[in-house]
Structure 1
Amino acid sequence: MKTVQLKKTKNSDWEYLSENILLKKPLVLVFGNRYMLESETIFNEVKVLFPDGEFVFGSSAGDITSQYVDDEIITLTAIEFERSNFVIKTANVLDNDSKINSFETGKNLIEQFDIKGLKHVFIVSEGSFINGSQLTLGMNSATENNLLITGALCGDAARFEKTVASYNEIPKSGEIVAIGLYGETLDISFAINGGWTPFGPERIVTKSNENVLYELDNQPALDLYKKYLGEKSKELPAAALLYPLKVKSTNEKQSIVRTILNINEEENSMILAGDILENSRVQLMMTNVDTIVDASEKAATQALALRKTAPELAILVSCIGRKLVLDQRVEEEVEEVIEVVGQNTTICGLYSYGEIAPFGGEKNCQLHNQTITITLISE
């Protein structure tokens, strides 16, 4: 495997972050600021850099490399697979007669792949209005829960206005890109960790509809949430990123963290990043810088322990809520990963609106919030 990395800031030329070497038919991951990715010239710019490349774009809430974390740039990571190959498929959640059906979109997307020899799928998905829980359920249904899928819901800094993604075209809304990796020599591992701690009483979801939470213990959910936040409730919905919910449903083995993306004052409800089932048990969560950084180190250690070979590429997907907590110390969680996987591993990734990965020891992927997921790849 060979890699080349570049970055671009607004009104500047592309700058190499690594040695400029010649790559053959590379997979080119282009993550970055949504406004910059919507430029009419962006596709032609990257095409000049890698004329025979295959380009996957995704907007972020911050770009990740081994050198920095920044939400005002575009980063480009070009990857030449020397002993394996990749296939890219796309779907758009807006294509179903204007009715958003995240489950069917996910199912149809994975069904486009030839399953024979398929080792892994990495997802770069629209992140502003898709139901990530249903997307992952749909993808799992197409593989009988037997294909390793990791990835990200795209971000838009802390604006939550819109996200964009694409394959070989200018990024657009609603797009979901799936990168399928094939090859006997591929060694792929992953891990996920959060670092959030529950506090306060457990409550029962007494009224919900998909990803909208109406009532906890037969009381308006938003009223209860505001009560716990106190003065910080004036900063909603942004403040909700610092106080997500631990959700344990009756049909799940493990708890999932759910971010509150928005609130509806008229309905006294909260809109979550993924589904929340009635009769689930929920609890508020909080964290601090040290526990988040520690969780990143644990995830890297877990991913590395599952490998036979040294990783050549690490794709990091971390939640925007973690970035807000880390603030000026945001690069520390990336530094912890590098300390574990080694300086020779190419680091790329993004801060997201949702992370896609299985729980440890499982194959069926899930939507997560407030976690870091690490996918390690080598040939």
Structure 2
Amino acid sequence: MNVKQFHFHDGEWFPTLPQSNSAQLLLVFGCRHAYRKQTDSETLRKAFPRADIIGCTTSGEILGTEVYDDSLVVSAIEFEQTKVEVISANVREFQRSFDAGITLANGLLKDGLRYALVISDGQLVNGTELVAGISQGLPEKTLITGGMAGDAEKFQETVVWHNETVAPGEIVLCGFYGDSLKVGHGTLGGWSSFGPNRFVTRSEGNVLFELDEQPALDLYKKYLGEFSDQLPSSALRFPLSLKLPGDDEAVVRTILSINEDDKSMVFAGDIPQGATCKLMKASFDSLVDGANGAAEGAVTSIQSDHVSFALLISCVGRRLVLGQRVFEELESVEDVLSEDCPLSGFYSYGEISPLLNGTQCRLHNQTMTITTLSEVIDA
């Protein structure tokens, strides 16, 4: 397995793109305008004629331990024995995000499938439904990870691309096949809850209307205080911890938009009635420790120190809280994986991965999610 990385910013590629590369997969994260320019001129296709090109807009592009905006970060991956198949669809073609997920999953070849990477629109797609559909359509225990596209802190439009298709609402599912591929995963947050438990007394899918029979938005604004005038972006600082009846583990949910008319809030994933919620907050150190724990989990899950590539998908809310110290969570990952391991990824509107010790895939918010890839070739 060979990985080469490239960075497009200020109108130039660093380093210069090759004339022709045999990579099978190109992960491209960054600015939609820069991507359109490169694909319209066939720059990327000429350099990587065999590759499926997939990626999305971001709330920050990750390359090594640095974070960039309005650029393109490219990881060209060439496998020795692993085969890759990519399919895509637009959520607007389906009645529900679940239907899009199960259709995409059914479209992948199943024989030898080891791992599936999901890159989804972050505004039009219900992440909980999408993950449920993909999980139902794929063979049991297939590892699924990925993330939902970002749009800085604007929450206006996210875009996903697959080769020449560049559109809002797009969802890409990439299957990896073969026994030589070793995939690790780790997910951890670092947020802590505060305040009383609140019960979800009225909701529909990912729209929350009432907590404790009170208008959800009004109650949320009371907690935000001075930050309430900056909604929905300020909600990234105070996500919700959500726990379903009978579940031991809580998941985190981030607000995507608000409706002042009916006092509701739209989240990246479902908010089921009967669930309990708490507000959450975080410190610099707890977020950095969470990223470090995610990296430890990814290494432990494959029981190997050798990692050829690590895909990092972290939430835009974490970047907002960490501010100028955002590089510290990336350095904490590098400390675990070593300086020789190529790191790439993006800050997102939702992260997709099993819990640290689990196999069932879930939608997360406000987490650092790490997927490690390597090939072990038998002599």
| TM-score bucket of the superposed structures, by smaller chain | over 0.9
- Structure 2 distance, partners of 1:64, 1:256, is 24
Q: Normalized against structure 2, the TM-score is what? A: 0.95
Aligned equivalent of 1:162: 157
How far apart in 2 are the matches of 1:168 and 1:81?
Answer: 19
CA distance in 2, matches of 1:34, 1:15: 18
Deviation at residue 42 of structure 1 after TM alignment: 4.8
How many residues align? The count is: 374
Q: Is the 8 A contact 1:33 1:157 kept in 2?
A: no
1:359/1:133 CA distance change after superposition, 3 Å: same
Contact (CA 8 Å) 1:148, 1:363: kept in 2 or not?
A: yes
Percent identity of paired positions between Structure 1 and Structure 2: 40
Structure 1, 317-326 or 59-68: larger mean CA deviation: 59-68
Q: Indicate if the aligned counterparts of 1:94 and 1:174 stay in contact, CA closer than 8 A.
A: yes
Q: Deviations over 1:222-244 (max 9, x none)?
A: 11111111111111111101000
Matched, 1:343 2:342: no
Of 296, 311, 323, the residue aligned with 1:301 is 296
- Shifted more, 49-58 versus 175-184: the winner is 49-58
Contact 2:187/2:353 (<8 A) preserved: yes
How far off its partner does 1:41 sit? 4.4
Alignment-mate amino acid for residue 61 of structure 2: D
Q: For residue 214 of structure 1, report the CA deviation from its aligned partner.
A: 0.8
Counterpart Cα distance in 2 of 1:56 and 1:230: 40
Q: Which residue of 1 aligns with 2:14?
A: 15
Q: Could you give the per-residue CA deviations for residues 302-338 of structure 1, whole angstroms, max 9, x where no partner exists?
A: 1112224401010000000001111111111111111
Distance 1:45 1:210, change over 3 A: same
Instruction: Give distance in 2, aligned partners of 1:129 and 1:228.
Output: 27
- Which AA in structure 1 matches 2:329? E
Question: Partners in 2 of 1:164 and 1:23 — Cα distance?
Answer: 26
Which of the residues 244, 248, 263 maps onto 1:268? 263
3-state DSSP of counterpart to 1:55: strand
Task: Sort the Cα spacing of 1:273 and 1:51 in 2 relative to 1 into closer, same or farther, 3 A.
Answer: same
Q: Does the alignment pair 1:121 with 2:120? A: no
Pick which of 70-79 and 46-55 moved more.
Answer: 46-55
The secondary structure found in structure 1 opposite 2:278 is strand
Q: For residues 99-110 of structure 1, what are the structure 2 equivalents within 5 Å? A: 99=95, 101-110=96-105
Displacement of 1:22 after TM fit? 6.9
Answer yes or no: is the 8 Å Cα contact 2:117–2:174 preserved in 1: yes
Which residue does the alignment assign to 1:362?
A: 358
Segments of 5+ residues of structure 2 without an aligned counterpart are: none
Q: Which residue does the alignment assign to 2:372?
A: 376
Deviates more, 1:263-272 or 1:251-260: 251-260
The one-letter amino acid of 1:303's match is: A
Q: Which residue of 1 aligns with 2:309?
A: 313
| Residue 77 of structure 2 is aligned to residue 79 of structure 1 | yes
Indicate the residue corresponding to 1:353 in structure 2: 349
SS in structure 1 of the partner of residue 372 of structure 2: strand
Q: CA deviation at 1:35?
A: 3.3
Q: Mean Cα displacement is larger for which, 163-172 or 332-341?
A: 163-172
How far apart in 2 are the matches of 1:251 and 1:141?
Answer: 21
In structure 2, which of residues 309, 325, 329 is the aligned counterpart of residue 333 of structure 1? Answer: 329
Deviation of 1:295 after TM superposition, in Å, equals: 0.6
**Distance in 2 between the 1:323 and 1:115 partners?**
37
Q: Secondary structure at the match of 1:133?
A: helix
CA 1:361/1:157 → structure 2, altered by over 3 Å: closer, same or farther? Answer: same
What SS does the corresponding residue of 2:12 show, helix, strand or coil? coil
Range moving further from structure 2, 223-232 or 239-248: 223-232
AA at the equivalent of 2:327: E
What does residue range 1-379 of structure 1 map to in structure 2 within 5 Å? Answer: 1-10=1-10, 12-16=11-15, 23-39=21-37, 41-42=39-40, 44-96=42-94, 99=95, 101-143=96-138, 145-309=140-304, 310-379=306-375
Cα RMSD over matched residues? 1.8
- Between 173-182 and 140-149, report the one with greater CA deviation: 140-149
- Consecutive unaligned residues in structure 1, runs of 5 or more: none
Contact residue 43 and residue 168 of structure 1 kept, 8 A: no
| Displacement over 3 Å in runs of 4+ | 19-23, 38-43
Residue identity in the other structure for 2:319: K
Contact residue 88 and residue 173 of structure 2 kept, 8 A: yes
Distance change >3 Å, CA 230–CA 224, structure 1 → 2: same
Kept after mapping to 2: 8 A contact 1:33/1:156: no
